[in-house]
Amino acid sequence: MNSNMPLLTGEAKIAGVLGWPVSHSRSPKLHGYWLKQYGIDGAYIPLPVRPEDFPSVLHILPKLGLRGCNVTIPHKEAAASNVDHLDSFAKRVGAVNTIIVRDDGSLEGRNTDGFGFIENLKHGMPGFRFSNGAAVVLGAGGAARAIVAALSDAGVPEIKLINRNLSKAEALARALGGSIHPRPWSDIAAALGGANLLVNTTSLGMTGQPDLDVGLESLPTTALVTDIVYAPLETAFLRKAKERGNPIVDGIGMLLHQARPGFQAWFGVMPTVTPELRAHVLGDL
Ligand code: ATR
């Protein structure tokens, strides 16, 4: 840290996170840490916004002089249809998590969740080769959309997309195109044979939810296993994979890395993810 004094002048750069509720969001803590670390005259604030107010609030942000914002549940899809410019990844995914106010006051929507997911794996397992084999993705909800699109872009040759509700996996595969193969939940064991990567994108395993209980017997022990659930940090699913010898990467890094491009756009510095930042954000989990 450069100083413990908060820097906040009349020229401060302001950004925030829009959600409903937003009190659970760790983004203020995360961006607040970086603002202090880099000695930036700026602030990042939680903005609780009801769904019915979201479009009007969004268009007020440039008038208030905000540099932009993050968007979280339940506004990510509404954000995609209410910004003036959408980057190609956000368009494919149909959801926006990062908004930048351009110099002309227009709103640019991006989706950095896929970037965060891939960066987390690259940092968590240096040298991991996405092109080495198939990925098995469990879940076909909002989080899966960005992850599946990002895995395709990263060169994964085949994605087996497994969801309890098969029609949702089919709809996602149709929407994204490429080599994405929807499979029913009962096909998990067969799908794991020869896989290079296994990802949980469902909410199973999160504190208060049942554990994700899948047999891993047919998964090669060289396959990387990751979970987007980060509370608890080591889910029963990750523990089981680790105990049989698979490399694992936990989910908190996706949250940390997805925040970096927004911070750069609003505050002018591409921040880094360090063990200290991780500990800071995990502090109250
Ligand atoms: P998110 O935006 O976090 O992905 P979501 O859109 O509500 O949240 O998706 C939740 C995912 O967890 C879905 O894939 C859901 O499966 P269904 O589409 O079949 O509902 C999955 N999920 C939740 N509870 C589950 C359970 N008990 N067994 C299997 N999958 C479950």
User: What are 56-88's pLDDT values in tens digits?
Assistant: 999 999 999 999 999 999 999 999 999 999 999
Question: Cβ < 6 Å from ligand 1: which residues?
Answer: 139-144, 163-165, 168, 201-204
pTM: 0.96
Q: Quote the ligand 1 centre to 87 CA distance (angstroms).
A: 26
CA distances from 184 to 113, 163, 166, 181, 188 (A): 25, 6, 5, 10, 8
5-14, 28-37, 65-74, 115-124: segment of lowest average pLDDT: 5-14
Matching residue, tokens 């995914």: 93
What local confidence, expressed as pLDDT, does residue 254 receive? 97
Q: Is 36 a catalytic residue?
A: no
Question: What separation, in Å, do the N-terminal and C-terminal C-alpha atoms of the chain show?
Answer: 23
Q: Quote the ligand 1 centre to 209 CA distance (angstroms).
A: 11
Q: Which atom of ligand 1 is nearest to the CA of 228?
A: 3
Q: Quote the ligand 1 centre to 77 CA distance (angstroms).
A: 17
Q: Is the distance from CB of 164 to CB of 190 less than 8 angstroms? A: no
Sort residue 233 into left (φ over 0), alpha (ψ -120 to 50) or beta: alpha
Of 180, 225, 184, nearest in space to 205 by CA: 225
pLDDT > 90? residue 7:
no
- Residue 99: strand pairing partners: 69, 109
Q: Is the distance from CB of 218 to CB of 192 less than 8 angstroms? A: yes
Q: Is the distance from CB of 137 to CB of 130 less than 8 angstroms? A: no
What local confidence, expressed as pLDDT, does residue 5 receive? 60
CA-nearest residue for atom 12, ligand 1, is: 202
Q: What is the mean pLDDT of residues 105-115?
A: 98
pLDDT > 60? residue 13:
yes
Active-site hit among 29, 36, 76, 91 = 76
pLDDT > 90? residue 35:
yes
